[in-house]
């Protein structure tokens, strides 16, 4: 990463952390005041550091400035006796004592903020947008790029989500086990979706995609650092993210076109990430009460993909079978049919695939096109044609059309 | 869509412990139904061994085992979703239980309120 990219990147994360710490004082009802103070602080830093150079301890510098701004703001509020004054009752000494950049307070506030954002009142996509804005410090433009959506759409989605966040009365303080129990599932779901948004994103912007994945991983890692949230399921999700991330660089070529799994250059796989994945997967199996969650199964599938074991497809099929018993999804059903072909051949897999009858899905037709390619070229061409009609992605259409031409010329 | 219970029966208690290959076939069959989003309930296995199965009859008569008049015993059940009973029967036909002389009873579920 270049220096001019590195600084906004660091600022973004520090900004999110600082907002979380400030929300301990203002509460989520007044999250905007906390955000204003945090952005003022970083504005001041960028002006000051450009002239005087980066201070020896940048973090201490930032929190000292923020602390002063917080005191000013509280004074200001009490002078004008605004509506918020009733709710903000801290005096300055308390601020001095509490508003330290103690790493424990920062970590606790961040963790609490994750749980606050993952409010079940918000729909999945709104939660992801909110998480990107509040937990990761992404701008509306960046979120719009990630979702391949208009800025206005994202703004509206965020506004609605923020209303729920403000009205939720969730306290930014050290989490209790009751809060954790009631929300951990939503937190994991959001982080999982956030990761997938990066991994399978509609956008071709490779940098944004990688950032979404690494942000989701960073937040999940944070959960493992607190004993209350370091559960088997959290470790399974983290293992899944590590395994998937290890292939990020091999998944697209220089033009941004998706490279099929079997054609990926395995030397591009990140061995270190695979080892991290193995480590978390072992942690995930320590607790026998929570052995087979969805994340365990998906992490298991991702694990087998990293190996060259002769029987790996049998293991993968078994895991897909179990995954479908827990939660049906068309994508899982299609993946299962593909894996079926690896063990039992294309003819049997066609029978499995055709039963799915997902005729609206381009992936369904793409799979059947692939399975029929060596058996019945007419049918293969028909299904690839249907896939072209149903896909919304330009890149995918190009890949499919190349395949159609290849099949036609091979006759 | 209607719901149907598929009730599995075996005649030989030795078949109750499946081999890994049988397990795999059974799991593929179940996964295939789930992949069509037609599995309502993955059901349960019903243990037939002494100490795990008894039959209670009138006059306080309690016998060991799940057997009534015939030797066949129920080994488990699942619930599937299908348009017609014929569709449910077609699903049942794919189950590997027939290779070991078992049978499947297909019964439409009437939900109690």
Distance from the Cα of B34 to chain A's closest Cα (Å) equals: 6
pLDDT at A96: 52
The complex's ipTM works out to 0.85
Q: What average pLDDT score do residues A35-53 get?
A: 89
A366 has a pLDDT exceeding 50: yes
Using pLDDT thresholds of 50, 70 and 90, give the confidence band for residue A49: confident
Strand B61-64 relative to strand B54-57, pairing: antiparallel
Q: Where are the alpha helices (DSSP H) in A27-102?
A: 31-52, 58-80, 92-98
**What number is the average pLDDT over the span A279-300?**
86
Q: Is residue B89 part of a domain?
A: yes
Using the Cα atoms of residue B22, residue B23, residue B27 and residue B28 in order, give the sign of their dihedral: negative
Whole-angstrom CA distances from A351 to A11, A338, A368, B56 are 53, 11, 10, 45
Mean pLDDT, rounded, for A15-22? 90
Specify the pLDDT at position A293. Answer: 92
Cα dihedral value B24, B25, B29, B31, nearest 10: 20
Among the residue ranges A133-142, A272-281, B63-72, the one predicted with the least confidence is B63-72
Cα Rg of chain B (Å, integer): 15
* pLDDT above 80 for A68: yes
Question: Averaged over A51-64, what is the pLDDT?
Answer: 86
Residue A344 CB partners (closer than 8 Å, separation 6+): none
Q: Is B21 contained in some domain? A: yes
* Token pair 């091999």 in the structure block, residue: A250
Nearest in space to A361 (alpha carbons), one of A321, A323, A399, A389: A389
Q: Is B71 part of a structural domain of the chain?
A: yes
Instruction: Tell me how close the Cα of B29 comes to any Cα of chain A, in angstroms.
Output: 9
pLDDT-above-90 percentage for chain A: 46
| Enclosing domain of residue B73 | 2-47+56-108
Q: Which residue has the tokens 């036609």?
A: A408
Asked, for residue B113, whether it belongs to a domain, the answer is no
Q: What is the CATH number of the domain that holds B14?
A: 3.30.70.1060
Among positive and negative, which fits the CA dihedral B24, A281, A243, A192?
positive
- Give the model's pLDDT for residue A95: 54
Q: Taking CB atoms and an 8 Å cutoff, what residues of chain A touch B43?
A: none
Indicate the burial class of B30 (C-beta count within 10 angstroms; 0-12, 13-18, 19 or more). buried
User: Which residues of chain B lie closer than 8 angstroms to A314, CB-CB?
Assistant: 24
Q: What is the pLDDT of residue A191?
A: 94
CA distance B28 to chain A (A): 7
Which of A67-71, A113-117, A376-380 is least confident?
A67-71
**Residue A74 confidence (pLDDT) above 80:** no
Q: Are B32 and A352 in contact (CB < 8 Å)?
A: yes
Average pLDDT over residues A174-183: 86
Please give the average per-residue pLDDT across A169-187, as a whole number: 87
Q: How many CB atoms lie within 10 A of CB B83?
A: 10
Q: Is A321 on the interface with B (CB under 8 A)?
A: yes
| pLDDT on residue A3 | 45
What size, in residues, is chain B?
A: 113
Q: Which residues of A255-274 are buried (b: 16+ CB within 10 A; e: fewer)?
A: eeebeeeeebeeeebbeebb
The dihedral built from the CA positions of residue A195, A196, A197 and A200, taken in this order, carries a sign that is positive
**Inter-chain residue contact B28 with A321, CB threshold 8 Å:** yes
Distance from C-alpha of A373 to C-alpha of B69, rounded to nearest angstrom: 54
Mean pLDDT of A222-228: 92
Contacts of B32 in chain A (CB under 8 A): 352, 355
Contact A352 B42 (CB under 8 A): no
Looking at the domain assignment, is residue B78 inside a domain?
yes
Beta strands in B1-113, from DSSP E residues, in sequence order: 2-10, 39-45, 54-57, 61-64, 73-82, 103-108
Distance CA A130, CA A138 (A): 9
Taking an 8 Å cut-off on Cβ atoms, the answer to whether A355 and B42 are in contact is no
Contact A244, A256 (CB under 8 A): no
Secondary structure (DSSP) of A205-256: -HHHHHHHHHHHHHHHHHHHTSTTT--HHHHHHHHHHHHHHTTHHHHB-TTS
Q: What crossing angle do the helices spanning A362-372 and A394-410 adopt, rounded to 10°?
A: 20
Residue B112 has a pLDDT of: 86
Digit-coded pLDDT (tens) for B39-95 = 999 999 999 887 888 889 898 888 887 765 567 889 999 999 999 999 999 999 999
Instruction: Give A323-353 pLDDT, tens digit per residue.
Output: 999 999 999 999 999 999 999 999 999 999 9
Give the mean pLDDT of A62-85: 73
Whether residues B36 and A337 touch (CB distance < 8 A) is answered with no
User: Rounded mean pLDDT of A249-260?
Assistant: 74
Residues of chain A with Cβ-Cβ distance to B28 below 8 Å are 317, 321, 340
The answer to whether B47 faces chain A, any CB pair under 8 Å, is no
Count of structural domains within chain B: 1
Give Cα separations from A156 to A19, A66, A113, A161 (angstroms).
21, 29, 21, 9
Q: How many whole angstroms from its chain centre is CA A261?
A: 21
Task: Quote the mean pLDDT of chain A.
Answer: 86
Query: Is residue B100, in this structure, part of any structural domain at all?
Result: yes
| pLDDT value at residue A77 | 65
pLDDT band at A123 (very low <50, low <70, confident <90, very high): confident
Q: Assess whether pLDDT exceeds 90 at residue A380.
A: yes
Say whether pLDDT at A290 is over 60.
no
Specify if B76 maps to a domain. yes
User: What CA–CA distance (Å, rounded) separates A319 from A337?
Assistant: 13
Average pLDDT over residues A295-321: 94
A143 touches A159 (CB < 8 A): no
Higher pLDDT, A145 or A364: A364
Q: What pLDDT, on a 0 to 100 scale, did the predictor assign at position A97?
A: 54
Give the gap in angstroms from C-alpha B11 to the nearest C-alpha of chain A. 27
Give yes or no for residue A261 having a pLDDT over 90: no
């Amino acid at each position: 990463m270049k220096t001019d990219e590195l600084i906004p990147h660091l600022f973004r994360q520090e900004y999110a952390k600082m907002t979380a710490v400030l929300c301990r004082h203002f509460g989520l009802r007044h999250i905007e005041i906390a955000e204003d103070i945090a952005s003022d602080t970083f504005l001041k830093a960028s002006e000051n550091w450009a002239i005087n150079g980066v201070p020896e301890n940048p973090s201490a510098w930032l929190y000292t400035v923020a602390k002063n701004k917080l005191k000013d703001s509280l004074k200001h509020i009490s002078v004008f006796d605004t509506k918020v004054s009733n709710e903000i009752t801290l005096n300055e000494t308390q601020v001095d004592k509490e508003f330290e950049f103690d790493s424990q307070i920062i970590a606790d506030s961040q963790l609490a903020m994750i749980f606050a954002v993952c409010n079940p009142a918000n729909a999945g996509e709104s939660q992801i947008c909110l998480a990107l804005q509040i937990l990761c410090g992404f701008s509306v433009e960046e979120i719009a790029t990630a979702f391949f959506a208009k800025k206005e759409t994202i703004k509206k989605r965020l506004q609605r989500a923020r209303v729920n966040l403000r009205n939720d009365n969730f306290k930014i303080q050290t989490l209790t086990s009751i809060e954790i129990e009631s929300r951990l599932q939503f937190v994991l779901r959001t982080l999982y979706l956030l990761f997938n948004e990066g991994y399978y994103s509609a956008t071709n912007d490779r940098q944004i995609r990688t950032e979404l994945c690494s942000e989701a991983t960073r937040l999940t890692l944070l959960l493992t650092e607190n004993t209350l949230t370091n559960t088997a399921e959290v470790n399974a999700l983290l293992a899944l993210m590590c395994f998937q991330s290890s292939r990020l660089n091999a998944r697209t070529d220089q033009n941004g076109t998706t490279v099929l799994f079997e054609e990926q250059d395995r030397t591009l796989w990140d061995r270190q990430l695979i080892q991290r994945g193995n480590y978390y997967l072992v942690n995930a199996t320590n607790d026998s009460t929570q052995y087979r969650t969805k994340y365990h199964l998906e992490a298991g599938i991702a694990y087998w993909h990293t190996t060259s074991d002769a029987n790996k497809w049998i293991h993968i099929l078994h895991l897909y079978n179990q995954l479908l018993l827990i939660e049906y999804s068309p994508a899982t059903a299609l993946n299962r049919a593909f894996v079926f072909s690896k063990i039992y051949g294309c003819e049997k897999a066609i029978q499995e695939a055709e039963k799915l009858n997902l005729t609206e899905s381009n992936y369904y037709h793409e799979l059947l096109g692939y399975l029929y390619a060596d058996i019945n070229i007419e049918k293969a061409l028909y299904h690839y044609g249907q896939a072209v009609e149903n896909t919304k992605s330009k890149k995918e259409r190009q890949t499919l059309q190349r395949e159609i031409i290849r099949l036609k010329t091979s006759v | 869509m209607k719901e149907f219970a598929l009730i599995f029966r075996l005649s030989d208690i030795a078949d109750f412990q499946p081999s890994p290959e049988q397990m795999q076939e059974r799991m593929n069959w179940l996964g295939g139904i789930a992949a069509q989003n037609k599995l309502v309930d993955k059901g349960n296995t019903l243990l037939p061994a002494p100490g795990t199965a008894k039959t209670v009859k009138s006059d306080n008569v309690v016998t060991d085992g799940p057997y009534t008049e015939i030797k066949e015993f129920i080994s488990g059940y699942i619930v599937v979703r299908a348009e017609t009973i014929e569709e449910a029967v077609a699903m049942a036909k794919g189950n590997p239980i027939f290779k070991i002389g078992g049978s499947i009873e297909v019964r439409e579920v009437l939900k109690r309120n």
